[in-house]
Structure 1
Amino acid sequence: MAIRINNLRLPLEHSERELTRQAARELGLKEKDILSLQIVRRSVDARRKDRIWFVYAVDVEVTQEERVLARCRGKGQIAAVSTPAAEPELNKGSLLLNQRPIVVGAGPAGLFAALLLARYGYRPLVLERGADVHSRAAAVEEFWSTGNLDPRSNVQFGEGGAGTFSDGKLTTRIDDPRRFLVLKELVKAGAPEDILYVHKPHIGTDILRRVVVNLRRQIEALGGEVRFLARVTDLILEGDRIQGVIVNHTQEIPAEVVILAVGHSARDTYRMLHRHQVSLTPKAFAIGARIEHPQALIDRAQYGAFAGHPRLGAADYHLTYQDEESGRGAYTFCMCPGGQVVAAASEPGQVVTNGMSNRDRASGTANAALVVQVFPPDFPEEGPLGGIAFQEKWEQAAFRLGGESYQAPAQRVEDFLAGRPSSEVKGASYRPGITPADLHRTLPHYVAKAMEKAIINMDKKLKGFAHPDAVLTGVETRTSAPVRINRGEDRQALEIAGLYPAGEGAGYAGGIMSAAVDGLKVAEAIIQRYREGDY
């Protein structure tokens, strides 16, 4: 049992002792009466730019706990909390697995599903179409430096999934206790401990690359296996049941259980599933461009005179706008403080942008996706794969406008709002380079129009957002999966027993944290249905 104190407010320059002293004061105690203190949550209150606070929730152990709680009765920010119980042990199911389960994809959903299965003795086989992190990073750097794209291993495909080349954000809207398990596992694998309590946790792409390797090593140490450059090109089916997979068109691997954690860019997998008449649904998502500002501008807008304070770090933002005329929402997404815009194509002849930051967020440039909702009626084709055709159309348009060399079309915000092409663009961080252009030619007219209105509106909320020299780089199309692989309450695909869609690529998550949680849920469903065999 502990006592939780919420809404402890301290100035930026406070010491660790001041936090303990403030906790004691709230409880009417002396400092020495606090036996232990653990930070549960820390956020920044920057609503007043002349005085910025850290706001804490802490759990403390004290002497004479019952008397303290009785004295504090009526204080809404103080309450007793139970010590978190150990993770509940899952009861294994009665059905016997004669082959080890296969996990397709080594992104967050696949890694966490495989880790849990391995802990319970199922010795999963993970098949990842891309390369290991080290080889993958080399291929990505080659692409960014020269424009030579490796379709097998890139920003979308490879160990760790698309999130490996991102800011490593762990924020999520889901409220699931498995989140804390994911955070603890990430820390165990080398992530910074502050992700356990900061309001907007992030790891950074540089550290995340080490973390995913350590997760893989844990899986292997527990009897699992991970194979790279192993693309699942087909399923082996017998009636309505999975019997295995085909890897790289040639190798057959038998399996009674297959987890599909393929990520949101595995378009060939979606097409293969459609060919097998697996139930798929087209899904709304959002497209737009990356918007880029000097980080100092964002810091001043958010923190005023405290901009650049070492304890605050690089400021972020999240902005929304509802276009009443079109009924579409526009919003900023995947904001990367102190980061860079990256080339994220996974197929030849297409330009795709994304954002990335290292742990220190020290590049001096801020970027975010500025995107607008699109819906199945917008897609050029009917059916479940219409969203893929929509993405490809605009990615190919961006490739052509950029000069067909994987340079991205870019435009000054002032020119974008005026509807004229830019002749010169400065400050773009995208590699392998940019071509000044008119982004209206790479976006649907209704998306571009909504973006124009959003920029003007968002500038009222964040001063400088519509700065004339802010840079738009297009296009951003991979905000989420354009397809949902339909599954039942047992988490199996509706038509195929033993096939378990999971994570963002299946349409059930959005981001590292929610994908990892969904991977755990799928693994739990398998554990509770099957017991491992002698394979």
Structure 2
Amino acid sequence: MLRVTEIKLPLDHDPAALAAAIAGRLHLSPEQLGGHEVVRRGYDARRRSAITLVYTVDVAVPDEAGVLARVQDDKHVGQAPDMGYRLVARAPAHLAQRPVVIGAGPCGLLAALTLAQMGFRPIMLERGKVVRERTKDTWALWRRGVLTPESNVQFGEGGAGTFSDGKLYSGIKDPLHLGRRVLSEFVAAGAPPEIMYVSKPHIGTFRLVTVVESLRQQIEALGGTYRFESRADDIEIAEGADGSRQVTAVVLANGERLATNHVVLAVGHSARDTFPMLEARGVAMVAKPFSLGFRIEHPQALIDSCRFGAHAGNPILGAADYKIVHHAQNGRSVYSFCMCPGGQVVAATSEPGLVVTNGMSQYSRAELNANAGIVVGITPEDYPGGPLAGIAFQRHWEAQAFTAGGGDYRAPVQLVGDFLAGRASTKLGSVVPSYKPGVLPTDLSTCLPDYAIAAIREAIPAFDRQIRGFSMADAVLTGVETRTSSPLRISRAGDFQSVNTQGLYPAGEGAGFAGGILSAGVDGIRVAEAVALAMTAPAGAKLDS
């Protein structure tokens, strides 16, 4: 197969035009092509009046060497890479122990699935409930203001990504094409086939529920075991005379002990009770940067018009998104985070007495508002005190938002016009906030550090120069967005194990090694491979990445 990139066609091109364009690039007739597969389809909207679709395709031709010789000056034609996935190991016939995966988010799911496919029969521990029961608990917070601390947007089967836009793209380096493997597993589990080739694939919450359930069925069919409502409260570590440390067991909240020498720790960024336990056990971790800010809502029609002009509403383009950044005069970077076209702002707390927001979209992206986090970069210098200080920092501002919202899980909101003018909002305008269980107009300046407020006030008018109407007076800011990523990193070595605790494999967002569904899934695969190689290696062998 040959790969041809940067094939540009009009937005409304004829179906036969792609094959003709491929043939033209290869100096062949369409009849000489042996078939082609679209690997990626994006769009170029820099000229709103002439938006083009941009294709990458893999194509079969009868004489690859001859074709490559004829087009050797075309840098956009070359040999197609091998994107197939191959399991790195097979479990021995008799396993002395089974690996344990803690956390059923995207990282844990792909780790458990990969281990199960290799025959290792993983045990999956999830503190929350099965995804449909978890959905009922989540709606109870959204509809009635009733929080279930162990079953919510953060905890339960599917992880935090289940109640999000379901974005399946990432900027990570992926030379082994593991991201494609994640997508293919999702499609096999019921996700829309187009996620394999559209440039910004997403699933949406309702479809993610079905995907998560199907992945569970596959893992169980391959010998894996799920344990829901089974919080891991402790990890036993044996210390050798030479200073070595080895995981020996996981202890559950009910006191049950699961003996194992291999633990995949994929707990997510909101497992705020797990991190102190790890620190008490001496597991190496460090503070890391993260971001906090607000959610901003505009009419989706405004974003569509700004991005697509007369092509707004085109079904191929869908609801428009954006990605923007501003470097403020006080040295802070302000940027859009987790932009959700045609979606809603959701309550995302997992602890009583706190307000946390996130964004969510369904597959259709058909809601009236666009929303995104407008967040400010935070560094460990902003919250000195060690690796757990970032959690305390987040909690402080989440508590401030809870108070500002009235103390009943409503969120504090402020119109952009009032925010920029430095006055409290007393009523809403034309943009109706989507956050449930409700909002309270107020002054958001108490909900973030002064430097963050100043940076966002400077950034919004700057963003308006890129997206006309971004600073519209009736746009709504909702507080607060704090859980953009984990505030700490659990240090690991080249073999994916903790730098000071053998058998412990920190993974995914909570451990500080991913940011989103796709990158978390990729990390889960890599960690599962490391576990499999360790469990099948000869005694005393040293494994490298």
The TM-score with structure 2 as length reference comes to 0.94
Equivalences for 1:68-147 in 2 at 5 Å?
A: 68-82=67-81, 84=82, 86-91=84-89, 98-147=96-145
Whether 2:382 is the aligned partner of 1:378: answer: yes
Query: Alpha-carbon deviation of 1:278?
Result: 1.5
Does the Cα contact within 8 Å between 2:83 and 2:180 map onto a contact in 1? no
CA separation of 1:497 and 1:63: change in aligned 2, threshold 3 A? closer
Which residue, 238, 248, 269 being the options, matches 2:253?
A: 248
Does the Cα contact within 8 Å between 1:278 and 1:495 map onto a contact in 2? yes
Percent of aligned pairs with the same amino acid: 51
Does the Cα contact within 8 Å between 2:89 and 2:118 map onto a contact in 1? no
Which residue, 303, 318, 325 being the options, matches 2:323?
A: 318
Equivalences for 1:355-504 in 2 at 5 Å?
A: 355-379=359-383, 382-426=385-429, 427-504=432-509
Letter in 2 for 1:395: E
Does the Cα contact within 8 Å between 1:41 and 1:57 map onto a contact in 2? yes
Query: Counterpart of 1:511?
Result: 516
Letter in 1 for 2:142: W
**Aligned equivalents of 1:421 and 1:294: distance in 2?**
22
CA separation of 1:118 and 1:290: change in aligned 2, threshold 3 A? same
**Aligned equivalents of 1:85 and 1:41: distance in 2?**
13
SS at 2:273's partner residue? helix
Query: Alpha-carbon deviation of 1:86?
Result: 4.0
**Aligned equivalents of 1:205 and 1:393: distance in 2?**
29
Query: Alpha-carbon deviation of 1:21?
Result: 1.9
Letter in 2 for 1:107: G
CA separation of 1:388 and 1:85: change in aligned 2, threshold 3 A? closer
Whether 2:276 is the aligned partner of 1:271: answer: yes
CA separation of 1:530 and 1:92: change in aligned 2, threshold 3 A? farther
Query: Counterpart of 2:343?
Result: 339
SS at 1:494's partner residue? coil
SS at 2:413's partner residue? strand
**Aligned equivalents of 1:121 and 1:88: distance in 2?**
14
Task: Tell me whether 235-244 or 359-368 shows the greater mean CA deviation.
Answer: 235-244
Query: Counterpart of 1:196?
Result: 196
SS at 2:5's partner residue? strand
Query: Counterpart of 1:224?
Result: 224
Whether 2:291 is the aligned partner of 1:291: answer: no
Which residue, 331, 356, 365 being the options, matches 1:352?
A: 356
Does the Cα contact within 8 Å between 1:399 and 1:408 map onto a contact in 2? yes
The TM-score with structure 1 as length reference comes to 0.96
**Aligned equivalents of 2:284 and 2:87: distance in 1?**
33
Query: Alpha-carbon deviation of 1:254?
Result: 1.4
**Aligned equivalents of 1:330 and 1:477: distance in 2?**
14
Query: Alpha-carbon deviation of 1:97?
Result: 5.6
**Aligned equivalents of 1:98 and 1:373: distance in 2?**
46
Does the Cα contact within 8 Å between 1:133 and 1:213 map onto a contact in 2? yes
SS at 1:215's partner residue? helix
Does the Cα contact within 8 Å between 2:269 and 2:483 map onto a contact in 1? yes
Query: Counterpart of 1:233?
Result: 233
Query: Counterpart of 2:39?
Result: 40
The superposition leaves residues 435-470 of structure 1 with CA deviations (integer Å, 9 ceiling, x where unpaired) of 001111101000011011111111111111111111
The superposition leaves residues 98-117 of structure 1 with CA deviations (integer Å, 9 ceiling, x where unpaired) of 22111000011111111111
Query: Alpha-carbon deviation of 1:315?
Result: 0.2
Query: Alpha-carbon deviation of 1:89?
Result: 4.0
SS at 1:140's partner residue? helix
Query: Alpha-carbon deviation of 1:37?
Result: 1.3
SS at 2:525's partner residue? helix
Task: Tell me whether 144-153 or 6-15 shows the greater mean CA deviation.
Answer: 6-15
**Aligned equivalents of 1:530 and 1:468: distance in 2?**
59
The superposition leaves residues 324-347 of structure 1 with CA deviations (integer Å, 9 ceiling, x where unpaired) of x32221100100000000000000
Letter in 1 for 2:321: D
The superposition leaves residues 57-103 of structure 1 with CA deviations (integer Å, 9 ceiling, x where unpaired) of 11212344443333323122222325x26423424699x96221110
Does the Cα contact within 8 Å between 1:6 and 1:57 map onto a contact in 2? yes
The superposition leaves residues 397-424 of structure 1 with CA deviations (integer Å, 9 ceiling, x where unpaired) of 0000100110000010010011111011
Does the Cα contact within 8 Å between 1:234 and 1:249 map onto a contact in 2? no
**Aligned equivalents of 2:134 and 2:276: distance in 1?**
25
**Aligned equivalents of 2:8 and 2:166: distance in 1?**
28
Query: What RMSD, in angstroms, separates the aligned Cα atoms of the two structures?
Result: 1.7
Which residue, 151, 154, 164 being the options, matches 1:153?
A: 151
Does the Cα contact within 8 Å between 2:345 and 2:358 map onto a contact in 1? yes
SS at 1:506's partner residue? coil
Query: Counterpart of 1:205?
Result: 205
The superposition leaves residues 169-212 of structure 1 with CA deviations (integer Å, 9 ceiling, x where unpaired) of 11111121211111111111111111111111111111111111
Task: Kindly tell me the number of residue pairs found equivalent between the two proteins.
Answer: 528
Query: Alpha-carbon deviation of 1:474?
Result: 0.4
**Aligned equivalents of 1:200 and 1:89: distance in 2?**
27
**Aligned equivalents of 2:2 and 2:493: distance in 1?**
41
Letter in 1 for 2:389: G
Letter in 2 for 1:68: V
Letter in 2 for 1:215: L
Which residue, 325, 334, 339 being the options, matches 1:330?
A: 334
**Aligned equivalents of 1:478 and 1:199: distance in 2?**
26
Query: Alpha-carbon deviation of 1:321?
Result: 0.8
CA separation of 1:86 and 1:374: change in aligned 2, threshold 3 A? closer
List runs of 5+ in structure 1 lacking aligned partners: none
The superposition leaves residues 13-38 of structure 1 with CA deviations (integer Å, 9 ceiling, x where unpaired) of 12322211222222233222222011
SS at 2:497's partner residue? coil
Query: Alpha-carbon deviation of 1:166?
Result: 0.3
Letter in 1 for 2:161: G
List runs of 5+ in structure 2 lacking aligned partners: 240-244, 538-545
